[in-house]
Structure 1
Amino acid sequence: MKLGNRLQTITSKIPKGLTVVDVGTDHAYLPIYLVNKGISEKVIATEILLGPYRKAQKNITKAGLQDFIDLRLGPGFNTINPAEADIAVIAGMGAMTIINIINESKQVADSFEKLILQPMKNPAELRKYLFKIGYKIIDEDVTWEDNKFYEIIVVRKANLSPFDETDIIVGPVIRNKKNPVIIEYINYRINILQGIIKDLKVSDTKACQKAVLKYEKLLKTLEEVIK
């Protein structure tokens, strides 16, 4: 089985020999890959919807991995006990969904050595939330698949520490990596912001003027990152 860039980047963040939880496993592609490649001897895969659950069950059975992949039906971490696994992956969901999953099972979330999170949108909102509840970003990445950029954020529970707007917007690890994909991603965001600012400047209302100041500040932050 060959994974796309998004899931492949996620697997690169998983050390060998640890028990992994895959929340919202869908077709169970990630758990099957982790076991087949010898990265993990045990994966707990959860799925909230019965349709995808049955598809995952079928794929796991077809791969002959029922003894290695524990498939559970239920939302988020509701079927997981604290310290039952080492790493949790929550990928392919919106930032608010990821936030709700962590909020609803905080004790379980805090028990993992690390969480690997891949929001489909609003990564800045997710970072802000994580900083506020005392999670530290230990790794980040950006990958490109199906004509879209995807941010991957790896965190662990830590003490509350100061953070600023730049940490929220770009991320403390991403802005220091500056590999070609990350630079392309930041330039993509800069181009979008420049278009928004241009459109807003057509109007002279106070609301638009306030928005221009906000987006110009954000634009400056992004431009500083790729200098």
Structure 2
Amino acid sequence: MQLSERLTAVAGFVTEGNRLADIGTDHGYVPIYLVEQGKIPSAIAMDINKGPLERAKEHIKEYNFTDKIQVRLSDGLEKLEAGEADTVLIAGMGGNLIVRILQNGSKALQNIKELVLSPHSEIDIVREYLCQNKYEIVEENMVYDSGKYYTVIKAIPCEKEVVYMPEELEYGRYMKYGDHKVFSDYVDYENRKLKELIDNLSKQSSENAKERIVQLEYNFKLNEKVREGNGANVR
């Protein structure tokens, strides 16, 4: 099976030999790919919607992996029992929803070895949640696929909370500006976007516009720290 660049990056973060639980599996492509590659022994493909799950079932049957990939209708981690998976993968949804799934599924996450997360938005909220709930982010990657930037995060359970600087929550700690091409392009893109927003709002006189400018200027300073090498990724 051939995956998109985004899903290839996601699949690449799953540790070889781990049992996988793919939350929001959609078509079941990632579990199928990983089993086909011999990277994982088994997977549980889970989704809240019957339609995508039926398509996943069809694809799994097509590849003759019904003995290795289970399919479950589940709201987040609801139908996953503790100890059934080593890797929990959640991709293709917003950061707030990912955090809510992790919060509601804390029992199912007992004894897991790693989380692989790819939020489409609110990435800082995901990083903050992980840091505050005794998960250490050990690896990150970013890809550009179909006109959008996608971040992939790998985190493992740890003994204590992890402290991140504001710019690290926003941009991560493991991709360095100037070294990682896609990340560098993303930081430059964000820089241009913030400048444009600040310029446009500066033409308005409302209090809401002024408050928004303050926040955007703060974000711009974080961006500049990363571009100058004084913020995230200096380790």
Same fold at TM > 0.5? yes
Q: Distance in 2 between matches of 1:128 and 1:136?
A: 11
Paired residues, what number?
227
Percent of pairs with identical residues: 27
Which residue of the partner structure matches residue 201 of structure 1? 202
For residues 6-50 of structure 1, the C-alpha deviation after alignment (integer angstroms, 9 at most, x for no partner) is 110111112221111111111111111001110111111111111
- Structure 2 unpaired stretches of 5+: 229-235
Q: Distance in 2 between matches of 1:15 and 1:174?
A: 20
Which residue of the partner structure matches residue 192 of structure 1? 193
Q: Distance in 1 between matches of 2:164 and 2:26?
A: 34
Shift of 1:53: 1.1
Give the conservation status (yes or no) of the 8 Å contact 2:178–2:184. no
Aligned-partner residue type, residue 198 of structure 2: I
Shift of 1:176: 6.7
Give the conservation status (yes or no) of the 8 Å contact 1:47–1:72. yes
For residues 49-88 of structure 1, the C-alpha deviation after alignment (integer angstroms, 9 at most, x for no partner) is 1111111111111111011111111111111111211111
Q: Distance in 2 between matches of 1:177 and 1:103?
A: 35
Q: Distance in 1 between matches of 2:204 and 2:8?
A: 45
Which residue of the partner structure matches residue 223 of structure 2? 222
Give the conservation status (yes or no) of the 8 Å contact 1:110–1:157. no
Q: Distance in 1 between matches of 2:150 and 2:224?
A: 20
Q: Distance in 2 between matches of 1:25 and 1:210?
A: 40
Q: SS of the counterpart of 2:6?
A: helix
Which residue of the partner structure matches residue 178 of structure 1? 179
Shift of 1:208: 2.6
Give the conservation status (yes or no) of the 8 Å contact 2:17–2:39. yes
- Structure 1 unpaired stretches of 5+: none
Pick the structure with more helix per residue.
1
Aligned-partner residue type, residue 193 of structure 1: L
Q: SS of the counterpart of 2:107?
A: helix
Q: Distance in 2 between matches of 1:60 and 1:207?
A: 51
Scaled by the length of structure 2, the TM-score of the pair is: 0.91
Q: Report 1:55-204 matches (<5 A).
A: 55-158=55-158, 159-175=160-176, 178-204=179-205
Which residue of the partner structure matches residue 233 of structure 2? none
Aligned-partner residue type, residue 217 of structure 1: Y
Q: Distance in 2 between matches of 1:189 and 1:130?
A: 24
For residues 85-130 of structure 1, the C-alpha deviation after alignment (integer angstroms, 9 at most, x for no partner) is 1111100011111111111111222431110111111111222222
Give the conservation status (yes or no) of the 8 Å contact 2:46–2:73. yes
Give the conservation status (yes or no) of the 8 Å contact 2:177–2:183. no
Q: SS of the counterpart of 2:38?
A: coil
Which residue of the partner structure matches residue 11 of structure 1? 11
Give the conservation status (yes or no) of the 8 Å contact 2:143–2:182. yes
Give the conservation status (yes or no) of the 8 Å contact 1:178–1:226. no
Which residue of the partner structure matches residue 46 of structure 2? 46
Q: Distance in 1 between matches of 2:110 and 2:186?
A: 30
Q: SS of the counterpart of 1:109?
A: coil
For residues 120-168 of structure 1, the C-alpha deviation after alignment (integer angstroms, 9 at most, x for no partner) is 1111122222222222211111111111111111112221132221121
Which residue of the partner structure matches residue 231 of structure 2? none
Q: SS of the counterpart of 1:204?
A: coil
Q: Distance in 1 between matches of 2:110 and 2:174?
A: 21
For residues 199-224 of structure 1, the C-alpha deviation after alignment (integer angstroms, 9 at most, x for no partner) is 11112344433322221121121122
Q: Distance in 2 between matches of 1:177 and 1:21?
A: 35
